[in-house]
């Protein structure tokens, strides 16, 4: 494992700026961990520094040395800056510079810490959570490692520097952070930490939902997300934050089910990779199953049994269970999830949409016409890439509805791309067409005009007509094909003009 780091000129320049003003500066946090594990500087994106300078001094130093700064939360001791440097070395990079803290506590449910500043790097490292997060690198590139974080990195262990119970109780979000670092690094918490997490689990309910969300967003897209979710279930944290996912556990043992939807969900989340909305949707995709399960068309009264509250006697399982409309139920639960986690409106909408349309891409076959592809694209309302990705997760991890193979889904992506490149994906009618139709057909303004335009849009979708022709071409198309909607429009035309008389105004 690396014990000495040589920084490039941009980072060295930042160290030099602080040294020139008589202030200490250390690199801390994830970047230190990553460097210790052998990452190279250009792959670090999130650079956290800590200093003995108080926030106004930090700002002054940065300004004096001509760094672009932004204020991130000066009252919490953090100043943001931009490090410039060669593009191929990953610059520009955002850095955050935080004044040494001696302690950091969160008031119940608050998003922001109450901080007290400190004067020593050792003190600052001590208040951090895990030993692997309590390492710093100084201006000379040497590791400062008072708690054997480097040893724990070697052993692949998550260990709390202080007393585990006290440390978790002080900021219960750290329980979720255990999950996040399991997900990211594949490490194992030591026994004392796991025990403490189990003891303190309910304290997570004191924590702001924004902080839950921040950790879960990172956890779900990390490579070992399944191990992390398994850990969170083991220490009863998942019960609190994602009861609808826990309800999938052992479903197949509590009555007929095609497979173990909990295991399948873990596989789905890992298959979802790095896309945040797809990962959340993968987590929620199957959550409708327990609540709609039916046998012989009789509802299988499973609500209470799902939550593990009352055992329900099993009916004789002579036919396969059905899970009619489970995606609708899951979308309902996704809506509740978004509210619980205070997701932003855009993510919330995407997750719900994906859960609801989870099988949409799986109906694709190579025999689909361009018109079929265009209609699917339209129906997916900008979420086609994510819906295809989720479909691929479902296909790759076990039985799934529809017929599309992974290769087919790949082909679907290409067909959408090709249609787009030829400008044949989204129907586009020219400006001025509405006015032309009104004038030439003597149309009253109103729904009829909209219907005619819709008819033309459908014709483009169906491939009978191209986009972006001249307005005259669309009128000619209508006259040539003479659809019922045109006849209706003619019947509604202003009577004075129908007879050919000049318009009166
Ligand atoms: P990543 O690379 O995923 O961002 P990170 O270790 O940088 O990982 P951050 O959440 O960015 O994680 O936090 C930066 C550092 O701040 C951590 O390494 C840790 O030292 C400290 N830290 C952050 N949150 C807490 C917390 N709730 N309790 C104690 N220390 C914390
Ligand atoms: Mg970080």
User: What DSSP string describes 176-212?
Assistant: HHHHHHHHHH--EE-HHHHHHHHHHGGGGGGS-HHHH
For residue 394, is it within any domain? yes
Residue 479 lies in a domain: yes
| CATH label of the domain that carries residue 107 | 3.30.460.10
Nearest ligand to the CA atom of 78: 1
Tell me what pLDDT residue 2 has. Answer: 58
Residue 158 DSSP SS3: strand
**314 belongs to a structural domain:** no
Q: What are phi and psi of 47, to 5 degrees?
A: -105, 115
313 in Cβ contact with 273 (< 8 Å): no
Which atom of ligand 1 is closest in space to residue 29's alpha carbon? Answer: 18
Ligand in nearest proximity to the CA of 128: 1
Distance 219 CA to ligand 1 centre (A): 13
Whether 174 and 226 map to the same domain: the answer is yes
- pLDDT per residue over 304-360, tens digit each? 455 444 445 555 555 677 788 999 999 999 999 999 999 999 999 999 999 999 999
Question: Environment class of residue 301 by beta-carbon count within 10 Å: exposed (0-12), middle (13-18) or buried (19+)?
Answer: exposed
Q: Phi-psi category of 463—alpha, beta or left, where left has phi over 0 and alpha has psi -120 to 50?
A: left
Query: Is residue 215 within 8 Å of residue 177, measured between CB atoms?
Result: yes
Least confident of 109-113, 121-125, 295-299, 383-387: 295-299
Q: 247 in helix, strand or coil?
A: coil
Residues 183 and 138 in one domain: no
CA distance to 293, 321, 322, 368, 480, per residue, from 316 (Å): 15, 11, 15, 42, 64
- 174 and 84 assigned to the same domain: no
Residues 48, 145 share a domain: yes
d(CA 338, CA 256): 30
Q: Within this chain, do residues 54 and 148 fall inside the same structural domain, yes or no?
A: yes
User: Does the residue 82 lie in any domain?
Assistant: yes
29 lines ligand 1 (CB under 6 A): yes
From 323, 346, 349, 322, select the one nearest 334 (Cα to Cα): 349
One domain, residues 185 and 62: no
Q: Are both 76 and 132 inside the same structural domain?
A: yes
Residue 134 alpha carbon to ligand 1 centre in Å: 9
Residue 271 belongs to a domain: no
User: What's the confidence (pLDDT) of residue 313?
Assistant: 59
C-alpha 460/C-alpha 454 separation (Å) is 10
What percentage of the chain reaches a pLDDT higher than 70?
Answer: 91
Report which protein residue has its CA nearest ligand 1's atom 15. 29
Domain termination site, one of 421, 452, 469: 421
How far does Cα 374 stand from its chain's mean position? 26
Is the pLDDT at 7 greater than 80? The verdict is yes
pLDDT given for residue 205 in this prediction: 97
Closest atom, ligand 1, to C-alpha of 34: 2
Q: 15 falls in which pLDDT band (50, 70, 90)? A: very high
Q: Does residue 145 share a domain with residue 48?
A: yes
Which of the listed residues 186, 210, 241 is the one where a domain comes to its end?
Answer: 241
How large is the average pLDDT for residues 177-197?
A: 98
Residue 230: CA atoms inside 13 Å, Cβ hemisphere, count? 14
Would you say residue 446 lies in a domain? yes
Residue 173, ligand 1, Cβ within 6 A = yes
The protein residue with its alpha carbon nearest to ligand 1, atom 22, reads 128
**Structure letter (DSSP) for residue 383:** -
| C-alpha closest to that of 224 among 265, 260, 191, 269 | 269
One domain, residues 366 and 443: no
In this structure, the residue with its CA closest to atom 7 of ligand 1 is 30
Query: Atom 16 in ligand 1: which residue has the minimum CA distance?
Result: 29
Instruction: Please indicate, yes or no, whether residues 83 and 163 belong to a single structural domain of this protein.
Output: no
**Is a pLDDT exceeding 60 seen at residue 225?**
yes
In this predicted structure, which of 264-278, 313-327, 340-354, 425-439 has the lowest mean pLDDT?
Answer: 313-327
One domain for residues 71 and 162: no
Is residue 326 in some structural domain? Answer: no
Q: Which of the listed residues 222, 241, 260 is the one where a domain comes to its end?
A: 241
- CA–centroid distance, 360 to ligand 1, in Å, is 39
Block residue for tokens 């998942």:
238
How far, in Å, is the centroid of ligand 2 from the Cα of 28? 9
Residues whose CB is under 5 A from ligand 2 (ion)? 29-30, 46
pLDDT score of 42 more than 90: no
Distance in Å, CA 45 to ligand 2 centroid: 9
Does residue 171 have its Cβ closer than 6 Å to ligand 1? yes
Rounded distance from Cα 29 to ligand 1 centre (Å): 6
Q: Which domain holds residue 448?
A: 433-499
φ, ψ of residue 416 in degrees (nearest 5): -65, -45
Residue 157 has pLDDT above 50, yes or no: yes
Cα separation, 505 vs 498, whole angstroms: 15
Distance CA 453, CA 287 (A): 41
pLDDT for 18 beyond 70: yes
Residue 55 makes CB contacts below 8 A (sequence gap 6+) with 74, 77, 78, 79, 99
Relative to beta strand 136-137, strand 143-144 is antiparallel
Give me the pLDDT at residue 262, please.
95
> Using CA positions, which residue lies closest to atom 27 of ligand 1?
174
131 and 26 in a single domain? The answer is yes
If you search the block for the tokens 């390492």, which residue do you land on?
135
Asked if residues 117 and 101 have their Cβ atoms less than 8 Å apart, the reply is yes
In a domain, 45, yes or no: yes
3-state secondary structure of 342: coil
pLDDT bin (cut points 50, 70, 90) of residue 184 is very high
Contact 478, 456 (CB under 8 A): yes
- Position 88 scores a pLDDT of 87
Q: What is the pLDDT of residue 255?
A: 67
How far is Cα 335 from Cα 329, in angstroms, rounded to an integer?
10
Mean pLDDT of 219-233: 98
Q: Is the pLDDT of residue 130 over 50?
A: yes
Per the structure, the count of domains in the chain is: 4
Q: Kindly report the average pLDDT of the chain as a whole number.
A: 90
Tokens representing 476 are 């000619």
**From ligand 2's centre to the CA of 240, what distance in Å?**
26
Q: Is the pLDDT of residue 248 over 60?
A: yes
Higher-confidence position of 46 and 294: 46
β-pair partners for 322: 294
CA distance 113 to 486: 66
- Tell me, what CATH number does 207's domain have? 1.10.110.30
Grade residue 301 by pLDDT with cuts at 50, 70 and 90.
low
| C-beta separation of 143 from 137 below 8 A | yes
User: What is the rounded distance in angstroms from the CA atom of residue 250 to the CA atom of residue 265?
Assistant: 12
């Amino acid at each position: 494992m690396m014990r000495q780091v040589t920084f490039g000129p941009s980072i060295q320049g930042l160290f030099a700026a602080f040294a020139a003003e008589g202030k200490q500066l250390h690199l801390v946090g994830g970047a230190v961990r990553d460097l210790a594990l052998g990452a190279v500087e250009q792959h670090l994106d999130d650079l956290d520094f800590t200093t003995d300078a108080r926030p106004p001094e930090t700002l002054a130093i940065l300004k004096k040395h001509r760094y672009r700064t932004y204020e991130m939360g000066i009252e919490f001791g953090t100043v943001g800056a931009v490090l410039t440097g060669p593009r191929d070395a990953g610059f520009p990079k955002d850095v955050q510079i935080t004044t040494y803290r001696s302690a950091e506590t969160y008031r119940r449910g608050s998003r922001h810490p109450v901080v007290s500043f400190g004067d020593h790097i050792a003190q600052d490292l001590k208040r951090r959570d895990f030993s692997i997060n309590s390492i710093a690198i100084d201006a000379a590139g040497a590791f400062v490692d008072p708690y054997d974080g480097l040893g724990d990195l070697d052993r692949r262990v998550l260990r709390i520097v202080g007393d585990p119970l006290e440390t978790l109780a002080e900021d219960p979000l750290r329980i979720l952070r255990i999950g996040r670092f399991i997900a990211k690094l594949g490490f194992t918490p030591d026994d004392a930490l796991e025990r403490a997490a189990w003891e303190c689990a309910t304290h997570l309910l004191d924590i702001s939902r924004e902080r839950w969300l921040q950790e879960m967003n990172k956890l779900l897209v990390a490579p070992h997300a399944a191990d992390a979710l398994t850990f969170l279930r083991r220490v009863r944290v998942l019960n609190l934050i994602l009861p609808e996912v826990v309800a999938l556990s052992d479903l197949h043992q509590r009555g007929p089910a095609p497979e173990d939807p909990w295991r399948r969900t873990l596989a789905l989340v890992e298959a979802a990779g790095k896309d945040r909305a797809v990962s959340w949707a993968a987590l929620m995709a199957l959550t409708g199953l327990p609540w709609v399960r039916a046998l012989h068309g009789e509802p299988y009264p499973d609500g209470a049994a799902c939550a593990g509250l009352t055992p329900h006697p099993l009916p004789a399982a002579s036919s396969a269970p059905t899970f009619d409309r489970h995606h609708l139920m899951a979308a309902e639960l996704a809506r509740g999830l978004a509210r619980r986690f205070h997701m932003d409106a855009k993510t919330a909408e995407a997750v719900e949409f994906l859960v609801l349309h989870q099988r949409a891409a799986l109906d694709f076959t190579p025999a689909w016409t361009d018109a079929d592809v265009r209609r699917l694209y339209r129906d997916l309302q900008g979420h086609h890439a994510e819906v295809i990705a989720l479909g691929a997760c479902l296909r790759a991890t076990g039985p799934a509805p529809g017929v599309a193979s992974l290769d087919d889904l790949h082909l679907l992506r290409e067909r959408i791309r090709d249609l787009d490149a030829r400008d044949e994906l989204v129907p586009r009618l020219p400006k001025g067409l509405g006015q032309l139709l009104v004038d030439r057909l003597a149309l009253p303004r109103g729904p009829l005009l909209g219907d005619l335009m819709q008819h033309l849009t459908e014709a483009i979708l169906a491939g009978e007509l191209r986009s972006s022709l001249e307005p005259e071409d669309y009128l000619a198309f209508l006259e040539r094909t003479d659809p019922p909607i045109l006849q209706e429009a003619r019947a509604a035309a202003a009577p004075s003009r129908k007879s050919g008389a000049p318009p009166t105004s």
